[in-house]
Structure 1
Amino acid sequence: MVNDFDLTNPDFFVSGDPHAVWKELRAVDPVHWTERQNKRGFWSITKYDDAQRVYRDPTTFSSQGGIALGFADAPDPTQPRMQYGFGQMMITTDPPRHGRIRQMLNRRFTPRALAPHEPHVRAITREIIDAVAEQGRCDLVVDVAAKLPTAVICEMLAVPREDWDLMFALGNMTVGNEDPEYQVDGSAQKTGAQAQRDIFNYFMKLIGERRSNPGDDLVSALVHGDIEDDHLSDLEVLFNCFLLILGGQETTRNAITGGMDALMRCPADRDRLAHDPALMRTGIEEILRWTSPITHIMRTATRAVDLRGRSIREGDRVVIWNPSANRDEEVFADPYRFDIARKPNDHIAFGYGEHFCIGANLARLELRVMLDELLRRMPDMAPAGPPERLRSNLLAGIKHLPVTFTPARVAA
């Protein structure tokens, strides 16, 4: 099987079995070279320890060459593509500048800073559930899971409520540009370019407003924050707004959906989690390990280096497959079992090292509140059809998941 697969093919992540491939690679070729016709090849990192090594060494494994295979492969220089964010967004910037940009936002994402917002996050969650509670059925993704992280990150970026659906749609077009459901004229490149252009144009206007009229929001923090005794350029602010509006939606939405899908398949675990609040913390970490919403992260080698006896050359692309690392048999006992009480559980769903996800605490808060409310108000939720997966090798996403539950009246 080792050569009978294509991890760059998004269809493989819809109808194939990537976990079977990763399992074999971990056993026989954990640092695996993929040669590609007319495109640059890459090394696949499939084991946990190797993934950590790459993540924690940004000097050797740089983010500035791009962090995703698809975006880095075929940029269109006439469009405002992700390539122009290399070295300007937190996610595509190496230390020390990465840390300096990150410092402008860090304090807003600490557990202490987020704690006062929990009642508001819960109020939003209840409003979302109220909208479907009387129907007895819904699309768990579109109607519920996606709405909470979209609302929260939009509020943090000062995007008004009337534009939340627009941000959701543009996010789908950007990260799901390989999926026909979101494509414009059947073109992945055109879809991604149009979505990015629309997001850029939207935030250019918002950046201008916040430059003259700052508020207590992330855009204002980026516009008016100091870095190396200077300010970020408008382009740098723009790219980091682009990163936040996308990253703030996708990970949590897919973790909520994937987590509920797993719990619906394990009713005993769902009932345990619903009736034992002490399990919520470990349950959330297991959902993150199990779903691993970011499928891969790419780095570029800045020098020749050996890894498990394989000679990685300067300039080679190195791709970490997070779901594979999170099922490494040498790290996780019985890794293919969903275990809401799993300890220890040092997964890398949020990455590792310098680029550990800045929004991890927010994602955990949203996931905890949403699970708590769903398990309490819809304890008999059940799938009404199979999950429809996103055509992507970047995100482990579910686009649609029809569910049923006992209808409940909502108090006026």
Structure 2
Amino acid sequence: MSLDQIDVYDPGRYVQGLPHDEFRILRAQAPVFHHRDPEREAGFWAVTRHADVVHISRSPDQFSSNRETCLLPELTPEALAEQQLMMVNQDPPEHTRLRSLVNRGFTPRMIGRLTEKIRTSCEKIVDRAIEAGEGDFVKICAAELPLVVIAELIGVPHEDRHRLFNWSNRMLASDDPELSADAADQQAAAMEAYAYANELGAARRGCPADDILTKLVTADENGHELSEMEFDLFFILLMVAGNETTRNAISGGMQALLDHPEQWEKLRAGRSDPAVLTRAADEIVRWVSPVMGFRRTTTTDVVLGGQPIAAGEKVVMYYSSANYDESVFADPYRFDIGRDPNPHVGFGGGGPHFCLGKHLAMREIELMLETLVTRLDRVEPIAPARRLRSNFINGVKEMPVRFVPERAE
């Protein structure tokens, strides 16, 4: 395949899986590659090597998240202005101020308080899967856990958790006609979520509780607090990031374990060792790369990987390529739950935008893995999985499986 045949932007290219062949060619021949863009005549720069992704992540003064947001598509001026208020689309010092406020909800105490809730939820979810016998792993296991956890974290009533699933699906899956018909439906989902966030915020202001929502609607010790719009947008960010990424890591991880049954047995053998579970969760995040790429915009003329880039250019960091960089990962196309070290960029490449919910996501993946391999002898595929049509989220829409319980001694 020649460079002029490569297209890692087309959402349809990801329906069959990550385009590893194309990323491999780019890393070897053009690690900072000027790529065609169907929405932008000037194209964009596709960045595929691990070192360059890390450099961009840690250089917000040169590579802005705010100027054109971190999202891959081009936005209308109205949509751009709104998105620029969201934390993930801000640069320091605004990003620093907002992150310091929301950090209050992600303390070790808060994550520790959720651990038993996560464990109990995993047990209930897997017990229901065993009772069902077979079904869609995504719906029964992978989607349910983060919904329960996010609902608990932000104080959403348990019975409303599937509304979060519906909204995040419609907002992020605009390239998949099965899930979202058009941009209007995407916007409608966002407005429904905003309205719901406002209701929750008003309720917490009037009746505080021990949850992150209460912390977000009250001032900190210095009297600083989120504006109504900042609160609404953070609710959207938390809903999407806490739901989509963990769900797809768990789904993609199960697909990897189905494809590599020896790793399932290795996981079962080491299930009582927390270090085994942590390494397995890290390898799943590397292997899946749930968020495949983020955008930045150059603030000045720069040279990246030997390639000059002018100020104002669109740059896309491909985590899904950097996580398979041969110069960093030995035998990167081998799924190995014991991989150590594993410096993947599945939670970002460091810098100010390093994933705020990393520890919560890892805890969810670890405890779901532990429960699956403890309560089940194996999981068997009964039909091919169906993948999301997206160039942003590496997702599995449906995974029909049979749940075979652990045999009684």
**TM-score of Structure 1 vs Structure 2, range by shorter chain:** over 0.9
The match for 1:13 is 14
Contact kept, 8 Å, 1:297 with 1:320, in 2: the verdict is yes
Conserved? CA contact 2:380–2:402, under 8 Å: yes
Aligned length: 401
Which one of the candidate residues 179, 184, 187 is aligned to 1:190? 184
Match of 2:53 in 1: 51
Separation in 2, partners of 1:236, 1:222: 10
Counterparts of 1:17 and 1:397, CA distance in 2: 10
Which residue matches 1:289?
A: 286
Q: Specify the alignment match of 2:116 in structure 1.
A: 119
Summarize deviations over 1:363-391 as a string: whole Å, max 9, x none.
00000110111111122111112221111
Report the alpha carbon displacement of residue 331 of structure 1 after superposing the two structures with TM.
0.5
Please tell me the residue identity of whatever aligns with 1:85.
Answer: Q
Query: For residues 209 and 196 of structure 2, what CA distance do their matches in structure 1 show?
Result: 17
Offset, 1:89: 1.9
Does 2:370 correspond to 1:372?
A: yes
SS across alignment from 2:178: helix
In structure 2, distance between residues paired with 1:74 and 1:219: 29
Q: Residues 76 and 167 from structure 1, CA distance in 2 versus in 1: closer, same or farther, beyond 3 angstroms?
A: farther
Structure 1 residue 218 displacement after superposition:
2.1
1:314 alignment counterpart: 311
Aligned twin of 1:359: 357
Distance (Å, rounded) in 2 between the aligned partners of 1:142 and 1:83: 35
Report the CA distance shift for 1:407/1:171 in structure 2 as closer, same or farther (over 3 A): same
Work out the CA distance in 1 between the residues paired with 2:221 and 2:98: 7
Contact 2:105-2:211 within 8 A present in 1 as well: no
Q: Which residue of 1 aligns with 2:382?
A: 384
Partner of 1:69: 72
2:209 — aligned with what? Answer: 215
Matches within 5 A, 1:142-291: 142-183=139-180, 186-187=181-182, 189-226=183-220, 229-276=223-270, 277=273, 278-291=275-288
Indicate which of 89, 92, 104 corresponds to 2:89: 92
Letter of the 1:127 counterpart: K
Q: Is the 8 A contact 1:110 1:361 kept in 2?
A: no
Aligned partner of 2:343 in structure 1 is 346
Distance 1:76 1:96 in 2: 23
TM-score, normalised on structure 2? Answer: 0.93
Rounded to whole Å, the distance in 1 between the matches of 2:234 and 2:142 is: 24
* Cα pair distance change 1:23/1:260, threshold 3 Å: same
| 1:32 maps onto 2:30 in alignment | no
| CA deviation after TM superposition for structure 1 residue 25, in Å | 0.2
1:395 equivalenced with 2:374 (yes/no): no
The 1-side partners of 2:232 and 2:283 are apart by 34
Equivalents in 2 of 1:268, 1:16: separation in Å?
21
Q: 2:129 is aligned with what amino acid?
A: V
In the alignment, structure 1 segments of 5+ residues that lack a partner are none
Match of 2:135 in 1: 138
Contact 1:32 1:45 in 2 (8 A): yes
1-side partners of 2:24 and 2:309: how far apart?
Answer: 22
Q: Is the 8 A contact 2:375 2:405 kept in 1?
A: no
Q: Which whole-Å CA distance do the structure 2 matches of 1:105 and 1:284 have between them?
A: 25
Distance between the aligned counterparts of 2:342 and 2:254, measured in 1? 19
- Cα distance in 2 for residues equivalent to 1:115 and 1:272: 27
CA distance change for structure 1 residues 101 and 334 in 2, over 3 Å: closer, same or farther? same
Whether the 8 Å CA contact 1:33–1:41 is kept in 2: the answer is yes
2:9–2:37 Cα contact (<8 Å) kept: no
Closer, same or farther: CA 222–112 of 1 in aligned 2, 3 Å: closer
TM-score with structure 1 setting the length = 0.92
Give the distance between the partners of 2:276 and 2:200, measured in 1 at CA.
41
